[in-house]
């Protein structure tokens, strides 16, 4: 049974049928389709389109269809073009002719947009809790890190000492923005298209506000043409997810780097490492590499949908059927990555001594300049004097703290015996005590703020 046989004398070519069919993808919206139909039946009953008996019979029938989906008993038949067709076909098997009245005033154009939005409204909280779990793992590690010092990098060159806790939390804050974006997106997803018909609206008195309320939408769409063609929410969802995946890939890349023998800052637990089929010694960070790699796939899905949307004539075009697969794939990808990342990070071993030994005193050259600034030297001059100390140490093949005081005083008489305090990395860290700095106090404040939220 097709939904549109009336004007045709020939049935659709079987290959064209296969191309047209979207059931393999959109059957994931089965429950949403049934819910939407139950609400629609009530709305057209209230508008006087269905008699009480018809409404009761349709509601009962849809209740059975929902149960069949929930228990896995629902069977599709080869003629089910998409999930909407399948639900209506099953309803008519269950209740007969009355099923034919359900679609009054409705089109699959407003129906599919409604189902898709409903699906996304349940996916957002699920994704949010997966993100929150990873965020908790990062905070737990930050708390465990205490005073552990590590080198901070810019340009992947050693820059300044930082607290490991500060580094863990840097990833927390990025994910917090992702979660905020997901929440913010909710208000643009929570707009009901149903009642827009194919494009021009419904031809009878319909209480769309009540319909929205019954389905849990915050608002109703204000323009039917826009409502059936709007897929901004899907593109935005893919962007929010891609941005999150970019954040995850950055974290993953650092774990990959820091677990190398060259860095040795972390060691992955065996449960989250993989071996090599050839090299017995290998312990590979596949989980993190896949996270890094899948970010590329997700960006591709975002780009793909945006390209599909570009230049589409108003209103519904079949191109729009391409909207669901990228959203489902993106969601599945994140839901598979996030819990694994969280557990892999919870069980990672930190090597504080390796991190500490990667700090060399040149990383305190800024502190040396700050030392001069405190003694009244303008920063530009202090920067150059500290640079001269770095050079003198390099030429003498000694560490900066090994240069005798005379060598310092030859560079500037402002240097005094207390200069050597500038080379204590923890001092350097704790001096950075402004809001957002790496000091122990500041990291504790971040954790307090996070936990108080
Ligand atoms: N399967 C279609 C989709 O996902 C449903 C809408 C079909 N509308 C139509 N006018 N053929 O977009």
pLDDT 10s digits, 398-453: 999 999 999 999 999 999 999 999 999 999 999 999 999 999 999 999 999 999 96
% of the chain beyond a pLDDT of 90:
94
Residue 121, SS3 per DSSP: helix
pLDDT recorded at residue 283? 86
Residue 198 Cα: closest atom of ligand 1: 10
Cβ atoms within 10 Å, residue 69:
19
3 pLDDT more than 70: no
SS3 64: helix
- Note the pLDDT of residue 1: 53
Helix, strand, coil percent values for the chain (each to nearest 5): 65, 5, 30
Whether residue 323 contacts residue 235, with contact meaning beta carbons closer than 8 Å, is answered with: no
Q: Relative to the CA of 81, which ligand 1 atom is closest?
A: 1
Residue from 79, 276, 314, 336 carrying the catalytic annotation: 276
Residue 72 Cα, ligand 1 centroid: separation in angstroms?
Answer: 24
Tokens of 300: 């591709």
Name the H helices within 276-349.
Answer: 286-309, 324-346
User: What class, spelled out in words, does domain 109-357 have in CATH?
Assistant: mainly alpha
Instruction: Show me where the domains of the chain are located.
Output: 5-104, 109-357, 361-451
**Is the CB–ligand 1 distance for residue 316 below 6 Å?**
yes
Q: Residue 238 has what pLDDT?
A: 99
Which of 32, 112, 320 maximizes ligand 1 atoms within 8 Å of its Cβ, making it the mutation to test the pocket?
A: 112
Instruction: Supply the mean pLDDT for the chain.
Output: 96
Architecture of domain 5-104: Orthogonal Bundle (1.10)
Atom of ligand 1 nearest to the CA of 4: 11
Per-residue pLDDT, 278: 79
- Ligand 1 centroid from CA 435, angstroms: 52
Exactly one of 14, 71, 75, 155 is catalytic; which is it?
Answer: 155
> Measured from the CB, is residue 112 less than 6 Å from ligand 1?
yes
Atom 3 (ligand 1) nearest CA: 321
Do 109-357 and 361-451 have matching folds?
Answer: no
**Ligand 1, closest atom to CA 320?**
12
Per-residue pLDDT, averaged over 62-68, amounts to 98
d(CA 320, CA 261): 49
- Residue range 120-135: average pLDDT? 98
| pTM, rounded to two decimals | 0.94
Cα pseudo-dihedral 233, 237, 240, 244, rounded to 10: 180
**Computed over its alpha carbons, how large is the radius of gyration of the chain?**
31
Query: Does ligand 1 lie within 6 Å of residue 321's CB atom?
Result: yes
User: Which residue's CA lies nearest to atom 11 of ligand 1?
Assistant: 318
The candidate with the shortest Cα–Cα distance to 148, out of 171, 170, 167, is 167
DSSP state of 398: S
For residue 320, give both structure tokens: 């729009």
Q: What is the pLDDT of residues 306-325, one digit of tens each?
A: 999 999 999 999 999 999 99
CB of 26 within 6 A of ligand 1: the answer is: yes
Biggest alpha carbon–alpha carbon distance for the chain: 102
Catalytic site includes residue 276: yes
Instruction: Give 361-451's CATH code, choosing from 1.10.486.10, 1.10.10.10, 1.10.40.30, 3.40.50.880.
Output: 1.10.40.30
For 96-105, write each residue's pLDDT tens digit.
999 999 999 9
Which pair of tokens denotes residue 69?
Answer: 């989906």
pLDDT score, position 8:
79
Q: Whose CA is nearest to atom 4 of ligand 1?
A: 321
């Amino acid at each position: 049974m097709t939904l549109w046989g009336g004007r045709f004398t020939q049935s659709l070519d079987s290959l064209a049928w296969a191309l047209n069919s979207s059931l393999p993808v959109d059957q994931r919206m089965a429950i949403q389709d049934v819910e939407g139909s139950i609400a629609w039946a009530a709305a057209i009953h209230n508008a006087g389109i269905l008699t009480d008996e018809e409404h009761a019979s349709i509601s009962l029938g849809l209740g059975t269809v929902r149960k069949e989906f929930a228990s896995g008993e629902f069977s599709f038949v080869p003629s089910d073009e998409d999930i909407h067709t399948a639900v209506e076909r099953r309803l008519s098997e269950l209740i007969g002719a009355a099923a034919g009245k359900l679609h009054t005033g409705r089109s699959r154009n407003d129906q599919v947009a409604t189902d898709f939005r409903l699906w996304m409204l349940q996916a957002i909280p699920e994704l949010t809790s997966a993100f929150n779990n990873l965020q908790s793992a990062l905070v737990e590690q930050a708390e465990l890190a205490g005073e552990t010092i590590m080198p901070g990098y810019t340009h992947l060159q050693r820059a300044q000492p930082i607290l490991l806790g500060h580094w863990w939390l840097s990833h927390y804050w990025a994910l917090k923005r992702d979660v905020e974006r997901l929440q913010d997106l909710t208000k643009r997803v929570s707009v009901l298209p149903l009642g827009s018909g194919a494009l021009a609206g419904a031809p009878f008195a319909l209480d769309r506000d009540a319909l929205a309320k019954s389905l849990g939408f915050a608002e109703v769409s204000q323009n039917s043409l826009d409502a059936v063609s709007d897929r901004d929410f899907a593109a935005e969802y893919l962007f929010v997810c891609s941005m999150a995946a970019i954040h995850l890939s950055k974290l993953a890349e650092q774990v990959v780097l820091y677990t190398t023998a060259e860095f040795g800052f972390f060691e992955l637990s065996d449960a989250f490492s993989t071996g090599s089929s050839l090299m017995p010694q290998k312990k590979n960070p596949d989980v993190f590499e896949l996270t890094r790699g899948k970010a590329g796939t997700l960006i591709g899905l975002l780009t793909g949908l945006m390209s599909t949307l570009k230049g589409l004539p108003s209103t519904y075009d079949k191109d729009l059927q391409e909207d669901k697969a990228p959203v489902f794939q993106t969601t599945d990808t994140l839901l598979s990555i996030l819990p694994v990342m969280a557990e892999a990070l919870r069980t990672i071993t930190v090597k504080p001594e390796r991190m500490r030994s990667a700090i060399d005193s040149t990383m305190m050259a800024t502190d040396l300049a700050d030392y001069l600034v405190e003694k009244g030297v303008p920063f530009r001059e202090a920067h150059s004097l500290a640079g001269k100390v770095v050079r003198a140490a390099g030429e003498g093949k000694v560490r900066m703290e090994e240069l005798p005081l005379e060598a310092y005083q030859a560079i500037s008489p402002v240097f005094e015996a207390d200069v050597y305090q500038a080379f204590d990395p923890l001092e350097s860290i704790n001096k950075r005590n402004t809001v957002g700095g790496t000091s122990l106090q500041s990291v504790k404040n971040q954790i307090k703020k996070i936990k108080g939220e």
